[in-house]
Structure 1
Amino acid sequence: MREHWIDSTIGDLCEVIAGQSPAGEYYNQEGIGLPFYQGKKEFGQKFIGKPQTWTRKTTKEAELGDILMSVRAPVGPINFATEKICIGRGLAAIKAGTKIDRYFLFYGLLFKQDEIRGNEGAVFASINKNQIESIKFFYPPLPEQKQIVAILDEAFEGIDRAIANAEKNLANARELFESYLNAIFTQKGDGWEWVSLSEITTDITDGDHQPPPKSQSGIPFITISNIDKQNRKVDFSNTFKVSPEYFEKLKSNRKPRKGDLLYTVTGSYGIPVLVDHDMNFCFQRHIGLIRPNDETNSKCLYYIFLSRYLLNQADECATGTAQKTVSLSGLRRFSVPKIPKEKQEIIVAELDIISEKVSSLETIYRQKIAALNELKQSILQKAFTGELTADTANQTTKAAKEGIAA
């Protein structure tokens, strides 16, 4: 750190506004009132995206140019507000004061993301207003801040293009699989018939509606935040536990077993997870459990749930405003293809092959994106320890261009 940089805190340099959600009755999708953002769902690379919800009554507001921080899982991601908006409890607004350039502040908070993320809790990760205000922040005089921002803007422009290119390739790989998947399940093969989901399953239920008693050790209890939305897997590394006695008292259809499907029904609804192990665990009521009958191949049903046809039904069925929910009764009525068992096995074999190839491509592109983000972090490290020079920026821009061409 250069000697003339000043040691301060976000609270001394900025005004921090903790979000607060209005009552759901004021929400609408017709553009009436202020745009309302509950969390980071609409976050872009740097600027927040178009609103999906508006509110006729406002609680806490952010202005054009304010930095928005996600304060509930995931903690730490930031974006700029592009207009006056209402912010819910998943966001905080940070208004730069006169001593700090807002773009320098943005890059500084981007640099501190790992430190900020360290405040995450075991179940509901969060950071509050006081914790944000207490974040230490070193800064130079304004002219030097603006010089650093100019260098970072130039360097990051190339890196962001490379990231966008890799993300486009990643999206294309996913679309390849999705188009093949949708083509299979929108056709009407020989012997197929369309029935309700309840006709090809034995159970469709959800988790315990009462908060379970926590235990220091025992059986994992998963919440919707434990479901990896990209990989459609359960992350057991950060769950809380319930006692074996609590688990044993649960009904059998609330104890997942190998071959069941989990299905998110609240908030980030519509995500299927195939249970492919025999480990004991239980789950909250925001997650549904679908148990196929003997004539239904679990993997085939999983692929059916990945299709656009099923996602559209979930969208049509979901109700609510702030947190949309797919009801169990609606889920049971989902229209699905009833396919002869031997044909299901052929479909699964075909989709497994394509899925494996697409997964290999996705791994390559994710690794490239991760490497480029690490490159950005290394530049931020130099910028906020006072070591960033024009030569460093030129070297970084060259590396970014090589990343684009690769």
Structure 2
Amino acid sequence: MKVGWEVKTLGDIADVKGGKRVPRGYKLQSEPTKHPYITVSDFTDDGTIDTSNIRYVSSEVFDQIKRYTISSNNLYLSIAGTIGKTGYVPSELDGASLTENACKLVLRPGIDRDFIYYFTKSDDFARQAGTNTRIAAQPKLALERLKTIKLPIPSSLPEQQRIVGLLDEAFEGIATATANAEKNLKNARALFESHLQSVFTQRGLGWEEKLLGDVCEFENGDRGKNYPHRSEYVESGIPWINTGHIQRDGTLSETEMNFISREKYESLRSGKIQPGDLVYCLRGATLGKTALVDPLTEGAVASSLVILRPSSVLDSRYLYSFLTSPLGQGLIKGYENGAAQPNLGAKSVAKYPISFPPIAEQKQLVAKLDDLHEETQRLESIYQQKLAALNALKKSLLHQAFNGELTGGN
């Protein structure tokens, strides 16, 4: 270990004190009082407090839990459910009550608060916290175990503060670069969606507007007594397609595919795909999820899906682009039932209006969309790689900091 450094435990450098639950028979209230009460849901990823939904306790309740408050000089740390979320409270919440699902670190003299905060963001802290967490109904990091977590720390307060200054400067630059990369990523996606939207709202020469039911055949799966059960799946056979097999790129996952026997397939009365078909999700959180069945030429669909079979006036890939466009996805809201488990009927989807040019022009538009999508994906990959590199840089800087390797030239 570097000269001037030593290994301490959190119990050595801070008093670790838990929060307190609201007494039985009382509830948190939204109406402001003099006594805010901070919960883990108020903790943010950047080490602050989200004050937009802060709740409060009455003076009567506060008198019963007044020993369990937190100061703006302390660090908070979540110890139940979400483990290891850390930060500080702003001055306006100085003296607020703290949930029993978190604790506060009251740091001893000679210990820089921000140095300890940065340590709690390191892989070393995450590893030790994970090792000491007990998993029951919900994860729990006991205070006594938390106190045993070890950290390397300079004996000199000025050295701690020097390291904090270097990390502050570096992390500020990383935050700016991350925000720019996230903005560029969002803009790349927005540009593609904007162009996709414009394709289906234009009205050129020779365009028609029809209902989907006029230009597509709809076929539901067989929901009768022959519906395949999980126990009837086989290792290989005829694809049995459900919503979970639909990928983000509009293909069907062959690696995750379920299969049924030829005999079971032949017993089904409907819901059998043909080349050029699309499958469309009618239920749940993935309502409107769409895929082309190609390259599959044979298979059957589960009850959560409906088959769309375009007529000769409609290109399959053009229809896919329409259904996955902002315009196509927006149509769902006009027909879904609004229940906790939303669903559509095939008859409702058949009422979607769609505008389209002659088939040759549809294919040209799809080719242009494919080119733009490919370019968008290339840009997304660049920005995702940059975000990953920035995150790796943060981890590297923290590793250097807590191994005494961080100098002004890093």
**How far apart are the structure 2 equivalents of 1:297 and 1:142?**
66
1:350-389, Cα deviation, whole Å (9 max, x unpaired): 2223223333222322222232233234345556xx4265
Aligned-partner residue type, residue 182 of structure 1:
Q
Task: Choose from 320, 333, 343 the match for 1:315.
Answer: 333
TM-score w.r.t. structure 2 length? 0.58
Contact 2:277 2:307 in 1 (8 A): no
1:103-155, Cα deviation, whole Å (9 max, x unpaired): 56862589859x98xxxxxxxxxx974556599994439999x9788765543
**How far apart are the structure 1 equivalents of 2:399 and 2:298?**
43
Task: Choose from 95, 107, 118 the match for 2:121.
Answer: 107
Q: Number of matched residues?
A: 330
Structure 1: tracts of 5 or more residues without a match: 17-31, 34-39, 52-63, 83-92, 117-126, 396-406
1:272 maps to what in 2? Answer: 290
Contact 2:119 2:125 in 1 (8 A): no
Q: Which secondary structure does the structure 2 equivalent of 1:4 belong to? A: strand
Contact 2:218 2:308 in 1 (8 A): yes
Any residues of structure 2 matched to 1:1-400 within 5 Å, and which? 4=7, 6=9, 95-96=102-103, 98=105, 107=121, 129-130=137-138, 138-140=149-151, 154-205=169-220, 212-213=230-231, 217-218=235-236, 224=243, 227-229=246-248, 231-235=249-253, 239=256, 241-244=258-261, 248=265, 249-250=267-268, 253=271, 255=273, 259-263=277-281, 265-278=283-296, 285-320=303-338, 322-382=340-400, 386-387=402-403, 389-391=405-407, 395=410
Contact 1:204 1:290 in 2 (8 A): yes
**How far apart are the structure 1 equivalents of 2:317 and 2:334?**
24
2:97 maps to what in 1? Answer: none
The Cα shift of 1:300 comes to 0.5
1:55 maps to what in 2? Answer: none
Q: Which secondary structure does the structure 2 equivalent of 1:253 belong to? A: coil
CA radius of gyration, larger in: 2
Aligned-partner residue type, residue 95 of structure 1:
A
The Cα shift of 1:299 comes to 0.8
Aligned-partner residue type, residue 121 of structure 2:
Y
- Higher mean C-alpha displacement, 129-138 vs 300-309: 129-138
Identity of aligned residues (%): 26
Contact 2:45 2:85 in 1 (8 A): no
1:33-82, Cα deviation, whole Å (9 max, x unpaired): 9xxxxxx9xx988889999xxxxxxxxxxxx98869999xxxx99899x9
Q: Which secondary structure does the structure 1 equivalent of 2:365 belong to? A: helix
1:195-247, Cα deviation, whole Å (9 max, x unpaired): 22222222254697886337583467676555554x4555555x474543686
Change (3 A) 1:361 1:141: closer
- Higher mean C-alpha displacement, 127-136 vs 172-181: 127-136
Q: Give the aligned CA root-mean-square deviation in angstroms.
A: 5.6
Q: Which secondary structure does the structure 1 equivalent of 2:295 belong to? A: coil
**How far apart are the structure 1 equivalents of 2:398 and 2:212?**
51
Structure 2: tracts of 5 or more residues without a match: 20-29, 32-40, 53-69, 71-75, 90-99, 108-112
**How far apart are the structure 2 equivalents of 1:234 and 1:70?**
36
**How far apart are the structure 2 equivalents of 1:369 and 1:78?**
21
2:62 maps to what in 1? Answer: none
**How far apart are the structure 1 equivalents of 2:125 and 2:244?**
25
